[in-house]
Amino acid sequence: MDDLLTRVNDELDRIPRPRTDPAKVQRRARTLRRRRTAGATAAVLVVVLGVVVPLSALRHLGGDRSPAPASGDDDAWVGIDVPHTDGWFVYRTDPAIVNLTNPIPPSVLASTVSMDADPAVDANGTLTLSSLPDMRSLPDDGIVMLASLDLSTEVPPEPDATFPAATLPLQLADADVALDYEGQQDPSVPEYLLRATAGGYAMEVRTYFGTPQPDGDVLARAQAELDRLIVRPRPGAAGFDPSPGWHVARSDPRRQLPWSTQGWASSTPFAETDLPEGLDPGFPSDWPQATGEEQGPDDVLIVVREPLETRNPFPDLPDFQPIVFPIDLSVERVVRAPWEGQPSDDVSQIIVGGTVNDRYLILQVLFHTGTPDDELIARAQEEVDRLVVPPGPPPTPLLDGSGVRMDLPDGWQGRIFQYAGGGELTLHASTLPVDDLFHGHTGWEGMGVDDVVIVLGEDVNATTDGFPQVDFPLVVTAADECVRGATVGESGLEDCEILDDGSEPPDGHTRLVHRFDVGARSFMLWVELGTPEASPAQIASVNDVLATLVIDAE
Amino acid sequence: MTDPAFRDLYEREFPAVFRAAYALSGDRELAEDAAQEAFARALSRWRRLSGESWAAGWITTTALNVARRGLRRRPVTGAARPDPVDTEALLDLRAAITDLPARQQTAVILHYLTGLPVREVAAAMQCREGTVKAHLSKGRAGIERRLTAAQRQVPAETKGDDDG
């Protein structure tokens, strides 16, 4: 095969240099930016447009009627809030659907106008737009303010020309005032736009007044509300308290990393490549590989990380039981190499998976000897005893996150999750008990003839002009069946795969595959039934479940 | 494109990104479009990617995903337009690669056909080096299986033609 690779590389070297078109790249980038901006401002536009659509289809401004206590703990982490004050009505993003890797911007909406005497609340606890103020009826002294955080940053947000550095409270005097703007319903309602990097976030505040020239009192009232805006840091990552003889690093909760949040502890200094000198230890690399490779037989390296993020609780996962402290690092738990990613041949580890404070964690204690003695294990035990796991956001049974919602029928189990660090969204629902953190089930082959598994995956890297826009309710038909070995496109088997390890589907099942776009978002839907020939009634029952599926266009 | 750093990256890396997409698709037009799209996506989020050592790998991975999707959309009867420099070796390898699961495809192309070291492939694919090595190992095995099967098939088909 090496010869073939050499020949292929030689051929590729002979390909004429491709055309570059920087102007085209720039135009397309501008379009993509606009799409994201449109998503971030959708709630505002709906307020302006005054169309009666489910608010949940926009930005999930949760229906917490005022008063709105400003909780300072992480149990209701939203990231942004404003405490209740007389004369203001406050709505905020439902904490149940806020997620550290969720592209939905957490928002808080404050208005001097009553949003509704009795807000209509749907089954998911979200509001309908009819409960929001109509800009056309905004009185001259009326104020509507919407503040949002951008959680999509994959590195600490650096101030730039669009989101300049600022300190809280933001000042209305710094706002860009627009008397004419996209989506404007009433020409007398101006928009005051503030964008800033502050409090560890890129944030945006849009304020609307009932008159093009709000007087000093109205502006002062708006500024006072802006002064009350609270920004809270993200929940902390698990990690280890500092202690003599140990080096520690922990993901900074204010940042969103392109990999799993994690905590490290090492008996030796971290290697330059893992934690370069001068780099904030809150931004470690994805794995202390070089540190491990430099360690000797008397050293210990400990890593705790979250493999995926979800707000949905899992019942009794065999490999992720609640972790009981202190974690016992007995010699009986030592496992010798080989395993994937091992730093060298003569290594061993103790690995513990489980839940702590509603977080799914994997703890790895690595020894650079195949036979760690009692003294070395005891040393590691002391450090593991210093593990701190801050509470995660509270779990919720609702399948609602990243702009995707679906009701679970009685007897079904499901979850929405993302692999930690910004992985693609996956919705998983089935009649089978969930018993595997990653794949949902360990017993796909054992599906009964009436069992159904639904997996919806977002393809964030797909282009947006290929699959048909979907009409809701989403419907699958027998024509969507993906037959093993059949050619769909040019890689039929890939289309039939349901697990990311590339494993082939079991025999004797029916698999329906449906690709579609919702606005600028692309999705792949797999439906697997435990029978080789699904009846029309079975497919109809699947469609009954899919009828509750709602996806927000980005 | 006002940011000089992005412009430099674009000029420097575009051929490599195109090469990866072309290796997968065998379609020059599709490969160019995929590379352009990937750079546009990078530019649209440049604030986050700027200065990252894995930016080029991220762009290449995105281009592969775009090309992969382009292949799916292409009509089954509309085979890739033959490129003048295409050869049997390239076709064989491409056919074998397209049979691999997506993650193995990406690892194989990034490492073997664009020359990224394993560490950079891992950064681009946001996984550990060990995982990349596993993908490469499985990918090689899959390609060799495919090539071996194809070699067996050729004599059989030739014999059938003779009989006919």
pLDDT digits (tens, 9 = 90+) for B57-105: 888 888 887 787 677 655 443 344 444 444 566 777 878 887 887 778 8
More confident residue, A496 or A4: A4
Tens digits of residue pLDDT in A177-228: 998 876 677 888 899 999 988 876 778 898 999 999 999 999 999 999 998 8
pLDDT at B56 over 60: yes
Mean pLDDT of the region A479-484? 74
pLDDT for position A122: 34
pLDDT at A365 over 80: yes
pLDDT for position A324: 83
Paired tokens of A373: 């003695």
pLDDT for position A56: 25
- Cβ–Cβ gap B72/A490 under 8 Å: yes
Residues of A in contact with B22 (CB under 8 A): 12, 15
A293 reaches B (C-beta below 8 A): no
Extended beta strands in B38-136, E state: none
A1 reaches B (C-beta below 8 A): yes
pLDDT for position B43: 82
Mean pLDDT of the region A245-257? 71
Distance CA A22, CA A44 (A): 33
A136 reaches B (C-beta below 8 A): no
Mean pLDDT of the region A283-302? 81
Distance CA A113, CA A144 (A): 8
Consecutive H or E run containing A308: strand A308-310
Distance from CA of B160 to the nearest CA of A (A): 23
Query: For chain B, first and last CA: distance in Å?
Result: 61
More confident residue, B127 or A267: A267
pLDDT at A380 over 90: yes
Residues of A in contact with B87 (CB under 8 A): 7, 11
More confident residue, B118 or A255: B118
Q: Which of the four pLDDT bands, split at 50, 70 and 90, describes residue A462? A: low
Mean pLDDT of the region B150-161? 48
Share of chain B above pLDDT 70, in %: 72
Q: Which of the four pLDDT bands, split at 50, 70 and 90, describes residue B48? A: low
Distance from CA of B159 to the nearest CA of A (A): 25
Paired tokens of B137: 């190992």
Dihedral sign for Cα atoms in the order A192, A196, A202, A203 = negative
Paired tokens of A547: 């009828």
Consecutive H or E run containing B153: helix B129-163
> Which stretch of A243-257, A400-414, A506-520 has the lowest confidence by average pLDDT?
A243-257
Q: Which of the four pLDDT bands, split at 50, 70 and 90, describes residue A332? A: confident
| Mean pLDDT, chain B, whole residue set | 74
pLDDT at A48 over 50: no
pLDDT at A461 over 50: yes
Give DSSP secondary structure letters for A415-458. Answer: EEEEETTTPPEEEEEESSPP-BTTTB-S-GGG--TT-EEEEEEE
Given a contact cutoff of 8 angstroms between Cβ atoms, the answer to whether A192 and A213 are in contact is no
Searching chain A, which residue's CA lies closest to the CA of residue B9?
A22
Q: What is the ipTM of this complex?
A: 0.75
| Mean pLDDT, chain A, whole residue set | 73
Between residues 439 and 468 of chain A, which touch chain B (CB distance below 8 Å)? 459, 461-463, 466
A401 forms beta bridges with A404
Tens digits of residue pLDDT in A404-459: 889 999 989 888 887 654 456 789 999 988 777 766 776 667 788 999 999 898 87
Mean pLDDT of the region A122-146? 61
Residue of A274, A461, A517 to mutate, testing the B interface (most B Cβ within 10 Å of its Cβ): A461
Mean pLDDT of the region A239-267? 75
- Cβ–Cβ gap B112/A5 under 8 Å: yes
Q: Helix B4-25 vs helix B28-44: angle between axes, to the nearest 10 degrees?
A: 150
Distance CA A196, CA A214 (A): 23
Q: Which residues have a Cβ under 8 Å from the Cβ of A278 and sit 6 or more positions away? A: none
Share of chain A above pLDDT 70, in %: 66
A105 reaches B (C-beta below 8 A): no
Mean pLDDT of the region A511-527? 84
What is the number of alpha carbons within 13 Å of residue A477 lying toward its C-beta? 2
Share of chain A above pLDDT 90, in %: 19
Among the listed residues A360, A100, A104, the one whose alpha carbon sits nearest the alpha carbon of residue A232: A100
Q: Does the global pTM surpass 0.95?
A: no
Residue A1 to residues A293, A502, B142, B143: CA-CA distances in angstroms?
30, 22, 11, 8
Mean pLDDT of the region A278-282? 52
Distance from CA of A453 to the nearest CA of B (A): 21
Searching chain B, which residue's CA lies closest to the CA of residue A156?
B48
Among the listed residues A343, A335, A341, the one whose alpha carbon sits nearest the alpha carbon of residue A372: A335
pLDDT at A464 over 90: no
Mean pLDDT of the region A37-53? 25
Tens digits of residue pLDDT in A66-121: 222 222 333 345 567 777 788 888 776 655 444 444 444 567 788 898 765 333 33
Distance CA A167, CA B45 (A): 24
- Cβ–Cβ gap B76/A4 under 8 Å: no
Among the listed residues B112, B109, B88, the one whose alpha carbon sits nearest the alpha carbon of residue B97: B109
The highest-confidence range among A28-42, A73-87, A285-299, by mean pLDDT, is A285-299
Distance CA A286, CA B57 (A): 15
Among the listed residues A523, A397, A402, A521, the one whose alpha carbon sits nearest the alpha carbon of residue A454: A523
Backbone angles phi and psi of B132, in degrees to 5: -60, -45
Residues of B in contact with A488 (CB under 8 A): 72
Given a contact cutoff of 8 angstroms between Cβ atoms, the answer to whether B135 and B121 are in contact is no
- Cβ–Cβ gap B130/A20 under 8 Å: no
pLDDT for position A97: 45
> Which stretch of A304-313, A532-541, B102-111 has the lowest confidence by average pLDDT?
A304-313
Tens digits of residue pLDDT in B9-24: 898 889 999 999 988 8
Given a contact cutoff of 8 angstroms between Cβ atoms, the answer to whether A247 and A273 are in contact is no
pLDDT at A377 over 90: yes
Mean pLDDT of the region A17-33? 74
